[in-house]
Amino acid sequence: MGLQLTSNDQVLTLAPDSSSAAAGKKLANAKNWQNQGQNADALWGECQGSALYQVRVDLSTLTITCSCPSRKLPCKHGLGLLLLAVSTPRSVPHSEPPEWVTSWLAKRAANSKRKAYSEPQKPPASSSSAAILKNAEKRWAQTMKGLDLLDLWLNDLIRNGLASVESRPASFWEEQRAQMVDAQLEGLGNRVLRLGEIPNSSANWPDQLMAELGKLALLSHAFRHSEQLEPSLQMDIRQLVGKPIKQEEVSALGETVTDNWLILGQRVDAKEKVREQWTWLLGAQTRRTALVLQYAFGQTPFAEVFPLGSRQDADLTFWPGAAPQRARIEARHGEIFPLQDRLPGTNTIEEFLRQVASILARQPWQERFLCTLKDAIPVCHDKGKQGKQWYIRDSSGSVLPLTNDDHWRLLALSGGHPVDFAGEWDGESLYPLGVQVDTRYYLL
């Protein structure tokens, strides 16, 4: 590529002000420079000022850095070197860059790669519509290639038998995930990674693994045949494979629901560098369940603050989908009140499971469900040597298991009497979020 500028005027448009331009011109003389050179990627040189300043120019973006203390960008040294290279190319010979240039270029390349990964869909502003189309086609091809790889991998697993995965190292799953991420199918990739946790995790792990593999295959199948599905389900599938819906699309396509929202509980996953927080809301009138996801890096606080155990009038916009659940707060209205009344909820577990089934019928990959159960009794069942099993029992005698922890606070608050219970159901067990006893909501 090399230096694409041909005239001094082009260089001078980069100058932040006229005094920098004037000072730059003064430095555009070979006698001010040493060790200068250029190649296809960069231009560099050292300029003797109050100290020896090192100037580096990334020719692909015309990014200029200089070790001088000036706050002007670019500084006079950078402009001077560019002017020198444009006006007298002979004085800036083509050569191998020194280490201080190559290391800088490598760092920039790594940074830009990271940037590209986090903002995959931002086309360069100057691109023509043809270029955008071409890019889209390229990405599509990449995605389909990734999908082919996944299906091939799945078929191989089944051909060779699941018994063989028991001895697979973590990298077996991680590599497959990385391939999915490269193909911009992060959602599928994450599912692959979670598969790796199943082997040997319980006695019936082959059953569980095959169920998850099957659901993954269904998802890839559904994505391949999206056009046969309802538009709302297409939205879900698109998000599930890892092609997120942009906020503007949510605004345009999502439904906005105004209600008095009960803020029932929250969980935070801080395993990764980026913390994920999910908050459960329940509409007092509409009985709609909303899940608000927030992300924050490291210790930075989450943008939206939720007073748990309270209710507030608010407008929520739901992500478009066949069984919309994820939502964001559009606007809050009025005061925040503590939860004092009985929770709206189902009377029996059977009724709740029917609700789950009807959601699954619309969106088969839904994983988390809010369960609010009226007149529920927490039970600690002693199984002797096998430890304790915790349940929630409804008024008809049906039970669902609670997560595999101790739930002493819940048990103390209920005392074996019926209470209104809120929890998160993952298809296996309930994670208690809170409990309404008399006029108070207790977070668990």
Q: Which residues bind other proteins (CB under 8 A)?
A: 151, 154-156, 158-164, 206-207, 210-218, 221, 349-350, 353, 356-357, 360-361, 364, 377, 379-382, 388, 391, 393, 397-400, 408-409, 411-413, 415-417, 427, 437, 442
284 three-state secondary structure:
coil
Q: How far is CA 161 from CA 103, 157, 192, 193, 321, in A?
A: 47, 6, 17, 19, 35
Angle between helices 186-195 and 231-241 (to 10 degrees): 60
Comparison of 71 and 159: residue with beta carbon closer to other proteins:
159
Which among 311, 313, 335, 342 is positioned nearest to 422, based on CA atoms? Answer: 342
**Min CB(186)–other proteins separation in Å:** 21
DSSP state letters, 121-137:
T---TT--HHHHHHHHH
CA distance 182 to 176: 10
Which among 68, 88, 72, 118 is positioned nearest to 28, based on CA atoms? Answer: 88
Spatial contact of 205 and 199, defined as CB atoms under 8 Å apart: yes
Comparison of 5 and 162: residue with beta carbon closer to other proteins:
162
Comparison of 119 and 367: residue with beta carbon closer to other proteins:
367
CA distance 319 to 329: 11
305 three-state secondary structure:
coil
Comparison of 290 and 430: residue with beta carbon closer to other proteins:
430
Comparison of 44 and 391: residue with beta carbon closer to other proteins:
391
**Min CB(402)–other proteins separation in Å:** 13
**Min CB(183)–other proteins separation in Å:** 19
**Min CB(220)–other proteins separation in Å:** 9
Comparison of 258 and 398: residue with beta carbon closer to other proteins:
398
Cα distance between the two ends of the chain: 62
**Min CB(283)–other proteins separation in Å:** 24
Comparison of 62 and 380: residue with beta carbon closer to other proteins:
380
Which among 325, 330, 319, 321 is positioned nearest to 254, based on CA atoms? Answer: 319
Which among 132, 119, 147 is positioned nearest to 240, based on CA atoms? Answer: 147
Comparison of 47 and 192: residue with beta carbon closer to other proteins:
192
Q: Which residues contact 319 (CB under 8 A, 6 or more apart)?
A: 235, 239, 245, 250, 254, 325, 326, 327
420 three-state secondary structure:
strand
Which among 410, 415, 416 is positioned nearest to 442, based on CA atoms? Answer: 410
Comparison of 57 and 241: residue with beta carbon closer to other proteins:
241
CA distance 235 to 244: 9
Which long-range contacts (C-beta less than 8 Å, at least 24 apart) are formed by 225-229?
A: none
